[in-house]
Structure 1
Amino acid sequence: MKLGIIGISGAGKSTIFEALTGKISDGANRSEDRIGTIRVPDSRVNILSDMYKPKKTIYAQVEYFLPGKTGSTKKDQNTWTPVRDCDALIHVVRNFGGYGFETPEPFQDFQNINQDMIVSDLVVIEKRLERLELDKKRGKQVDNEELPLLEQCKKNLEQEYPLRKNPEIASAHVLKGFAFISAKPMLVLFNNEDDNDSMPDIKEFSENCMVIRGKLEQELVQMSEEEAGDFLEEFNITASAMDRVIKGSYELLGLISFFTVGEDEVRAWTIKKGTMAVDAAEVIHSDIKKGFIRAEVLSYDDLMDAKTYNEARKKGNVRLEGKTYEVQDGDIINFRFNV
């Protein structure tokens, strides 16, 4: 999972990136792209690892990407290119004053970026529609599915309606190659002052929103475990920014985790909610999907209740499922296959 961090200049994007990844910069190369890969905290992986004592324990991972430059598509169409391959966007919105900044205007700042995305996608669509019209005049065959979808996208954008608000269009396979920026799922982070942990008035927002005290959280990731404990208590922080944002990102993208366990490896795998067993198998290896026979499934909760895999089997909690079984969050799966 790759999440791109965006926002207007001065919103605190670098501070948020450092709070989420722990990668602290000296400020010398703020114009360069920055990437931080962290493991997804999951107590279930810890417990399974203690149970199986594997040679390797592998957590799911999330990648945060902070481009050196984005925005102002009206001047340069290529400035959104760095985040087009991201799965979702984290939009950092300034909700603090001081430091030379005027009174924050969260909704206006949000709208400025939103409009920029809409303009960017409109430019792409209009160019493509012109090309399709030219192909029709030359007698070339035009994709009958692509054309009406693009026209619908254009209509939505002209009404200042970002494509992420229409999931059916945003996820259309025929449009995937365009990587429309306004179609990407978005998590809005209000970057608050140190002494303010409240949500601003969000009646005008129709996005997934969360508050973060960026400067505090940036300081937190640089502390020892003992210092961090006192810090969390003093500022009434019940969960770190990293934990909260990862959880919010999973919910935003509709992601769940399943596990594979054994003496060699305990591992968490990330998939979309609603994924069938045969497609979950492909996440591990394409050969497993190709030779799929059955999925041996045990829920994490049933394993915890039974204490051991063998005891869970005796209780009848270990099931054999076919290709179309919908994998559930926390499933422990052993894929049977033959290639």
Structure 2
Amino acid sequence: MQIGLVGLHNSGKTLLLNTLAGIEKTEYHKSEEAKLEVIKVPDERLNNLTYIFNPKKQVNATIEIFDIPGLRVSDDGKVRITTSFLNNVKNNDALFYVIRHFENASVPHPMNRINSLADIEFLETEFLFSDLSFLENRIEKLKKDILKRKEDRLTKELEVIEKCYEHTNNELPLRTLDLNEKDISLLSGFQLLTLKPLAIAINFDENSMQDASSIIGEIKEKLGQQNLEIIPFSAEIEYELSKLEPEDQQMFMEEYGIKESALDKILRTAFKVLGLQSFFTVGEDETRAWTIKKNYTAQQAAGVIHTDFYNKFIRAEVVHYDDFMKYKSFSKCKEAGVWRLEGKEYIVADGDILNIRHS
């Protein structure tokens, strides 16, 4: 699964991705081709398990991040949504808007403004138009098909599509519409843009960062989406921070009053928005964080490790990370009653430590 970075040109998307990937700073993205990087997801829990077990290696979970070329000014002097841009956006499982909120004359905003709310509304409006156009055409086609052959499947689909059309016609993104699992499954193949899970990262500079909290509060109120994840960050500061040695990083963070790297929070949020979680395996050879979808069963999680583990699954030895860190050993976890055996239907929790028994 992958998450797409979406934004206007000169928003800081590419610098953000390069910093996450540990790539040296380069010129702003001038290519029309999107760029994909596989990024390690930081996890303090995995670091702690590695310290305890002292294995030969540690393997972090990863996430695929897609940098979609930023929207530019066209020949008529306006920023326009292109077909190639929309296609790049559609190919992602979730979206992360990267929004600019800093002044820099050397890298001008394509619309010659610094207004983070307006930039968000521009993207949301364009994506709503795209969805609305698709839904309108789909309704027309379904009505014609129903006249030719009266199938319950087509009638049910029409009901869902009309509900979505009404919602988007009221200028509301589909992610805010109450849809059940069957509805979502039906819509999944259509790649509707406003149905995709969304988070937002707003790129501040050193001067504007002090206003981040109030700006984000205003944006959530205006959008009417209080649960929307909006993360303040500074691409330039995070890049400079990433080039320092660990001890110098701590001094740098203290100087700027930074409690935690925003990059870590951005990656965790991307993981969350994609509906992913981690379970751990530990031992002398390696400690590893495995990526699974939420609500995966123990048998499905076993299959992520190896297909044979799925087919030959017997039981899973389970202890949650929090319980393990309390007792620091499996034997003491057993004595405390927090180590247990679970069957194939057990729903794996984020942070479970698993050992798969198989035939």
Q: 1:130 to 1:288 in 2, by over 3 A?
A: farther
Contact 2:36 2:67 in 1 (8 A): yes
AA aligned to 1:58 is: V
AA aligned to 1:204 is: K
**2:167 equivalent in structure 1:** 156
Contact 1:259 1:331 in 2 (8 A): yes
Give CA deviations for 1:173-217 in whole Å, capped at 9, x if unaligned. 121111211111111111112223223132213222111122211
**CA displacement at 1:166 relative to structure 2:** 2.1
C-alpha distance in 2 between matches for 1:85 and 1:288: 31
Contact 1:191 1:214 in 2 (8 A): yes
**2:75 equivalent in structure 1:** none
Unpaired runs of at least 5, structure 1: none
**2:298 equivalent in structure 1:** 277
**1:20 equivalent in structure 2:** 20
**1:106 equivalent in structure 2:** 116
User: Secondary structure of the equivalent of 2:258?
Assistant: coil
User: Secondary structure of the equivalent of 1:333?
Assistant: strand
**2:87 equivalent in structure 1:** 81
**Matched residues, number:** 338
**2:41 equivalent in structure 1:** 40
C-alpha distance in 1 between matches for 2:6 and 2:117: 15
Contact 1:73 1:79 in 2 (8 A): no
C-alpha distance in 1 between matches for 2:245 and 2:284: 33
Q: Within 5 A, what are the aligned runs for 1:54-203?
A: 54-68=55-69, 76-99=82-105, 100-101=108-109, 102=112, 104-139=114-149, 141=151, 142-166=153-177, 168=179, 172-197=184-209, 198-199=212-213, 200=215, 201-202=218-219, 203=221
Contact 2:69 2:85 in 1 (8 A): no
When normalised by structure 1's length, the TM-score is 0.88
User: Secondary structure of the equivalent of 2:208?
Assistant: coil
User: Secondary structure of the equivalent of 2:162?
Assistant: helix
Q: 1:287 to 1:317 in 2, by over 3 A?
A: same
Match of 1:255 among 239, 261, 276: 276
**CA displacement at 1:249 relative to structure 2:** 2.6
Higher helix proportion (structure 1 or 2) = 2
Contact 1:282 1:288 in 2 (8 A): yes
**1:315 equivalent in structure 2:** 336
Contact 2:14 2:29 in 1 (8 A): no
Runs of 4+ in 1 over 4 A off after TM superposition: 69-75, 100-103
Identity %: 34
Q: 1:12 to 1:75 in 2, by over 3 A?
A: closer
User: Secondary structure of the equivalent of 1:157?
Assistant: helix
Contact 1:153 1:169 in 2 (8 A): no
Q: Does 1:325 align with 2:349?
A: no
Give CA deviations for 1:204-254 in whole Å, capped at 9, x if unaligned. 132221111222112222333344333222211121121111222334344
AA aligned to 1:157 is: T
When normalised by structure 2's length, the TM-score is 0.83
Contact 2:14 2:28 in 1 (8 A): no
